[in-house]
Structure 1
Amino acid sequence: MGAWTVLQERQAMLLDPAIRDWVLIPIMIVMVLVGIVRHQVTVLLNGTPKKADLKSARETKALQRGGILRAHGTHLPEHAFEARKTFLSDAFEKGTYEKDPNASSKPKGNVMQDPAYVETMMDGMKKNMMNIIPQTVIMAWINFFFSGFVLIKLPFPLTIRFKSMLQRGIETSDMDVSWVSSLSWYFLNLFGLQSVFTLILGSGHAADAMRDMQAMSTMGMGAAAGPQMGPTGQPADMHKIFLSEKENLDLTEHEWGLENVEMRVLVKYGKLPRSVLVDYKKAKSLGSASSQSASSPSSASAQIAAAASSSPAVTAGKKKGRRQV
């Protein structure tokens, strides 16, 4: 602490209050106002939302259904999981949920001649330009009028790795990392004002900084490519996507989430030693699980209790006089 205090005293700087009044606060206010205006203009450009295509939504929801089954199949019994898995695999292979089952056999034409695709691409480019232009103008305004300004000092110490992020536009190597330049203040506001925009504009607003960065990297092509478009802008081959999802379902093995739950509860609350679970897993790996799955639930519980009572750890506990349930 002594060295840090000495370093703070050496780099103590007094900022003019005019910097706070004419640089710090105006940048934040301008960014808030620009975000609100951009949201309203984006809403006007969007116009009346188009109705979703029923068949396209059916394709997307079918793929989501397969992913949900693979991710949360442990909450279903084995017979229910296998029934759903078989049904979806057959549907994906036959193309039951495809919008156009014969699309893969048809010759692919020029996608730019499709009016719907061209309209979607132009809408995406207009929205992205509304996101890129305001941020470019604000950055140029800050660079021209407030280049090299030190605006604020953070109330906590930071490592040297934050220097390039917090002191952009200030070419000094000895300044404390806690000082923030004007250009870095712009980026902090760009990502930190999202809660303010949500409070003012509500959820789902158009003043999203992450969408701005994605728009700058894709230059309008990413928004035009919806869920039915491939990475090159061509329509995706849904038949191949469904076959890929079918393979993923076929490779998914079912693991019952409530298997051996009685023993796990007893081990959790200290009624059985943890080594009982280890012994049970070893017995299951040797093939005892197949006989347990074929038996009834009552006999399975009896076998679990028998395995727990016959384990070496439980036997040792009984010899020592400890209570076992």
Structure 2
Amino acid sequence: MGAWTVLQERQAMLLDPAIRDWVLIPIMFVMVLVGIVRHHVTVLLSGTPKKADLKSARETKALQRAGILRAFGSHLPSQAFETRKVYLCEAFEKGRYLKDPDAKNKPKGNVMQDPAYVETMMDGMKKNMMNIVPQTVIMGWINFFFSGFVLIKLPFPLTIRFKSMLQRGVETSDMDVSWVSSLSWYFLNLFGLQSVFTLILGSGHAADAMRDMQAMSTMGMGAAAGPQYSPTGQPQDMNKVFLSERENLEIAEHEWGLDNVETRLLVKYGKKPREVLLQQQEAKKKRLTSTSSTTKTTTTTTTSSSSSTSNASFQPASVSMARAKKSKRA
């Protein structure tokens, strides 16, 4: 404890109160103000939201339905799960949920001639510009006027791994990790003011820095564009997406969530030993293994019987030919 106190006294620094009044608070105030302005400008540029296309929404909901069935199929009985699985696999195979089922095998045209794609890409570029320009200006302002400033000390100790995150722009190895530089204070405000923006602007505001950074990597489309667009912004072939989802459904295994529920409850509350549940699970595995082996044996027997039947059907012809040859020789 004494060594830690001595170390703290050696690293103690006194900050000028003017730094708090003219650097710390102004940076936070400017970032809040810029976020509010950016939200309103983004709303003005976006205009009236468009109504969702019914056929595109049907494609999206069909994929979501298949994903929900694979994820939560254990809540359904085996028969209900298999019924839904067969129906969706057949629908994906036939292209029943495609926007244009007749054009699924036709070659795709130039995507730049699609007005919807071009408009979506332009909206993404506008949103990216509204994110890049203000943040670039604020970062340049902080680097020019407040480079190398130490603004605040955090009231809790941190490990050395946080030094590069909290002391950007201050090249020193002796300073305590809990001190925060001006550039790091900018990044902390960038990702920490979301609750303030939600309080001022409401939920779904356009000042969310994390969402904007995700949109930059997807040309501003993100998840709002649905599965019709890939993460790079290019239109996807929905027929291939449906066929891939059909394969995922076909290999999905079902396990009834209420199987052995009575035994599990008794084991959970200590009424039965856990070995009983383990024995039931082992018996179920053996039963499934024997069922699969019986199915394979039945299939092999059916194949062999069909082959023997075909051989028997050809036998009379060969016998008659041999008899004809013998009669000719005689």
Alignment partner of 1:181 is 2:158 = no
Alignment partner of 1:57 is 2:57 = yes
Question: Structure 2 regions of 5+ residues with no counterpart?
Answer: 292-330
- Cα–Cα, structure 1 residues 15 and 219, in superposed 2: closer, same or farther, change >3 Å? farther
Identity %: 84
- What corresponds to 2:10 in structure 1? 10
Please list, as runs of the form range in 1=range in 2, the aligned pairs for 1:139-178 lying within 5 A after superposition: 139-178=139-178
- What corresponds to 1:202 in structure 2? 202
CA distance in 2, matches of 1:257, 1:27: 54
- Of the structure 1 ranges 275-284 and 249-258, higher mean CA displacement relative to structure 2 is found in 275-284
CA distance in 1, matches of 2:219, 2:253: 42
Q: Give 1:227 shift.
A: 2.9
CA distance in 1, matches of 2:39, 2:25: 21
Q: Give 1:290 shift.
A: 8.5
Q: Secondary structure at the match of 2:102?
A: coil
**Amino acid aligned to 1:174:** D
**Amino acid aligned to 2:172:** T
- What corresponds to 2:102 in structure 1? 102
CA distance in 1, matches of 2:126, 2:231: 20
CA distance in 1, matches of 2:252, 2:224: 33
Contact 1:128/1:215 (8 A) holds in 2: yes
- Cα–Cα, structure 1 residues 254 and 218, in superposed 2: closer, same or farther, change >3 Å? closer
- What corresponds to 1:27 in structure 2? 27
Q: Secondary structure at the match of 1:227?
A: helix
- What corresponds to 2:125 in structure 1? 125
Contact 2:38/2:206 (8 A) holds in 1: yes
CA distance in 2, matches of 1:288, 1:50: 52
- What corresponds to 1:269 in structure 2? 269
**4+ runs of 1 displaced by more than 4 Å?**
215-226, 288-291
Output one character per residue of 1:89-117: Cα deviation in whole Å (capped at 9) or x when no partner: 11110100000113332232221122222
CA distance in 2, matches of 1:289, 1:258: 21
Output one character per residue of 1:238-287: Cα deviation in whole Å (capped at 9) or x when no partner: 11110111111110111000100101111111111112111221222221
CA distance in 2, matches of 1:231, 1:217: 8
CA distance in 1, matches of 2:92, 2:108: 22
Contact 2:218/2:231 (8 A) holds in 1: no
Contact 1:123/1:224 (8 A) holds in 2: no
CA distance in 1, matches of 2:89, 2:226: 25
Q: Give 1:220 shift.
A: 5.1
Q: Secondary structure at the match of 1:151?
A: strand
- Cα–Cα, structure 1 residues 251 and 206, in superposed 2: closer, same or farther, change >3 Å? same
Count of equivalent residues: 291
CA distance in 2, matches of 1:105, 1:24: 61
Instruction: Choose 1 or 2 for highest CA Rg.
Output: 2
**Amino acid aligned to 2:59:** E
Report the TM-score when normalising by structure 2: 0.84
- Of the structure 1 ranges 36-45 and 108-117, higher mean CA displacement relative to structure 2 is found in 108-117
Alignment partner of 1:137 is 2:126 = no
Q: Give 1:235 shift.
A: 2.0
Contact 2:104/2:239 (8 A) holds in 1: yes
Contact 1:160/1:177 (8 A) holds in 2: yes
Q: Secondary structure at the match of 2:227?
A: coil
**Amino acid aligned to 2:55:** K
Q: Give the structure with the higher percent helix.
A: 2
Contact 2:147/2:182 (8 A) holds in 1: yes
RMSD: 2.0
- Of the structure 1 ranges 46-55 and 207-216, higher mean CA displacement relative to structure 2 is found in 207-216
CA distance in 2, matches of 1:136, 1:41: 17
Contact 1:266/1:272 (8 A) holds in 2: yes
- What corresponds to 2:84 in structure 1? 84
- Cα–Cα, structure 1 residues 89 and 222, in superposed 2: closer, same or farther, change >3 Å? closer
Q: Give 1:229 shift.
A: 1.8
Q: Give 1:65 shift.
A: 0.1
CA distance in 2, matches of 1:52, 1:224: 11
Contact 1:122/1:224 (8 A) holds in 2: no
CA distance in 2, matches of 1:3, 1:247: 64
